[in-house]
Chains A and B, each alone.
Chain A
Amino acid sequence: MRNGLIWDRGKRKTERADILIKDGIIESIGIFTTLPPTAEIVDITGCTVIPGLLDIHVHLREPGYEDRETIATGCAAAAAGGFTAVCCMPNTNPVADNQEVIQFIKDKAQGNLVTVYPVGAVRKDSKGDELAEIGFMIKAGIVAISDDGMPVKTSGIMRRALEYSRMFNIPVLEHPQDASLTEDGSMNEGLYSTKLGIYGMPSIAEDIIVSRDMQLLEYIGGQLHIQHVSSAHSVELIRQAKDKGLPITAEATPHHFTLTDAVIESFDPNYKMNPPLRSEADREAIIAGLKDGTIDAIATDHSPHTVDDKEGEFDLAKFGVTGLETAVGAYFTELVDKHQFNGIETLVELCVINPRKIMRLDIPEIQPGAPANVCILNEQKQWTVKKDAFFSKAMNSCFIDKTFRGYVIGVIGNKRIWLRDSTLK
């Protein structure tokens, strides 16, 4: 790759250089005057090279919901978004609560540029009181456990989950929602839900579970990770827990740091997700949390759905929006341009380093001898999100027709390269 701006983790800045990769391993980095005659040259002038991103919250829908997405199409979407790795959630059909389903997922992902790290269910079928066979799933390759989509229902269950997880040193990923406070709800409870006649889900439904889980964490130990933080009060609770030194981490989605519930005046089901878009005060708290380290990572909660499930009646539409292909654009356009986030350096922190720390994975390096695991992006390029241009099978993005800056040009991983524009070669 010729003439790129290569991220140097030690110096925390980019430097102009060429990279020579052979058989999927970085051979050398520098300014080359001569190249091996068999080398394929990719001109990346003006583009930045950082280690590949990891999205720790993705729904690949396979097995069971292949009309929405498959492992193959989900990984294509990940690559197009600059992600060389994803953690996929277990709410498949059947639920990924045993070794066999985990193995199936790993087998399906075999040979893909993108590495898939499966997350196993906490409970059998993500329901009831029995723990899933977490030990066997760890042997099959899970990196964490979660009942995402449903909160771990009672304090008693959450206690057991945290206790049992301590044996394996893996995080419990919590979707914090008190379901009894959110029945019939389709959006945030607030002025807009009142104006629109749509039943709301109050932010306290999230706060209550975050508070409960933090107290259990303090008592039991383990590692707790709060998924898709959407409420200002939750951010504050997490901040307090971190001040106490509790082993807690958190993530936030691009739609939660970009949009608020005001957009639902259009009744567009592409703005319907769980947890819902909330008020401006909540959005600002999330941004502040991402800035001061309270929230460790950006994770998209990529939730593909068919057109029929995301069109028509707002209250009947399914919850969820895609996000893999728009995360980088949302980061630059919203957080960097409007909130003075520190460009590439903070992107690497929020999407490369911290997600891997949470999952206890090695952080890919860009240095000679390391496997080539990189994201190539054009920081300056403006682009518009188009409904028919997604690599995902699904089109349910909340950013359709939005213009972003920051465009992924290509990714390299697992000895494979993907370039958005194949004429670059």
Chain B
Amino acid sequence: MAKQTTAFSRKHLIGLSDYTRDEILHILETARSFREVLERPIKRVPILTGITVINLFFEASTRTRISFELAQKRLSADTINFTANTSSVKKGETLRDTAQNIEAMKVDMVVVRHSSPGVPLFLSRVLKSNIINAGDGAHEHPTQALLDMYSLLERIPDLKGIRICIVGDIGHSRVALSNIFGLTCLGADVAVCGPPTLIPRHIEQLGIRVFYKLDEALAFADVLNVLRIQLERQGVGLFPSLREYRDQFGITRERLENFPKDWIIMHPGPINRGVEIDSDVADGNFSIILNQVTNGVAVRMAVLYLLSGREREQTQ
């Protein structure tokens, strides 16, 4: 295990907006060690033995939950899953009641996903447990951004000055926002691209560029992070059809070939093949999409480990 110069002192991972460069790099360094564990025949270390983690998912998600669950099991933690199909308010139980029940069960760490922004922050105020945000509405999805940055650092030694463009429904995307916070913190040159209806009017104030035309984004960027486009947005007049979206912003081999570069193509998944990205791009040489998935487990192991406080007790 790589020993860090200063111990990680955070209790929660709510978002990357207030994490420092050192803290982010610390997590990614730690993830490197856990990534190596995932190559062993026995993919398990006893680091979080005796720690109980609850995956509190108010919003359905198979992939992220499985990734967290794998991370927890590989660290030998005890895992519980709680999935609510509808928000607690619709069911009649308030968020405070759910939280107090969890507190009563004396769980050490809570991984929470909810459709309302700010819920992980609320829980961090009412619970004694460590809180990890697995996605809160359109606010943040910090572990996704961390695994995205980790995956980039497998290819590029330093993210400073790297030109990366996030393409898609920026305004509804917690993946986009966390990436913007994390990447700008590490010095990358970040842009977003999509139709104006999907890009918040004030987003340039976060220190990033905005492109409404894909070709301009392709001319600028070396890395693309392609977001899933949702059909629901069509229904409320944000764009006319998936067909037109693909025509304007779809990442296809033809569009990329106009800008011959050593592209890096990313996607948080799940992919809408033939909409925001074509199969031959998603499965092609430029794509690191599957690496993102593998790295996701390692990064989540690192986050769980560092927040648990066990690093401070650990000696190499």
Contacts and interface: CB of A to CB of B under 8 A. Distances in A.
A312 B95 contact: yes
Contact of B89 (A195, A197, A267, A316): A316
B291 interface: no
A315 B202 contact: no
Given A196-B139, A312-B95, A191 B119 contact: no
Contacts of A314: 116-118
Contacts of A315: 116-117, 137
Contacts of B118: 196, 198, 267, 313-314
B121 interface: yes
Given A197-B136, A197-B138, A313 B177 contact: no
B177 A197 contact: yes
Q: Is the interface of A mostly helix, strand, loop or mixed?
A: loop
A191 B177 CA distance: 12
A251 B114 CA distance: 38
B17 A313 contact: no
A187 B17 CA distance: 19
Interface in B129-183: 136-140, 174, 177
B315 interface: no
A267 B117 contact: yes
B95 A313 contact: yes
Interface string A303-319: 00000100111111000
A194 interface: yes
A318 B201 CA distance: 26
A196 B114 CA distance: 14
A199 interface: yes
A197 B95 contact: no
A308 B201 contact: no
A266 B117 CA distance: 11
B240 interface: no
B84 interface: no
A194 B122 contact: no
Interface string A195-212: 111110000000000000
Interface in B198-218: 200-203, 205-206
B52 interface: no
A147 interface: no
Given A191-B202, A194-B203, A267-B121, A311 B136 contact: no
Interface string A274-313: 0000000000000000000000000000000000100111
B279 interface: no
Given A189-B201, A311-B94, A194 B206 contact: yes
Contacts of A196: 117-118, 139
A190 interface: yes
B96 A197 contact: no
A62 B40 CA distance: 68
Nearest to A184: B236
A198 B119 CA distance: 12
A46 to B, nearest CB: 40
B96 A316 contact: no
Contacts of B202: 189-191, 193-194
12 contacts: A189-B202, A190-B202, A191-B202, A194-B206, A197-B117, A267-B117, A311-B95, A312-B116, A313-B116, A313-B119, A313-B122, A316-B87
Given A312-B116, A313-B87, 6 more contacts: A197-B136, A267-B121, A312-B94, A312-B95, A313-B95, A315-B117
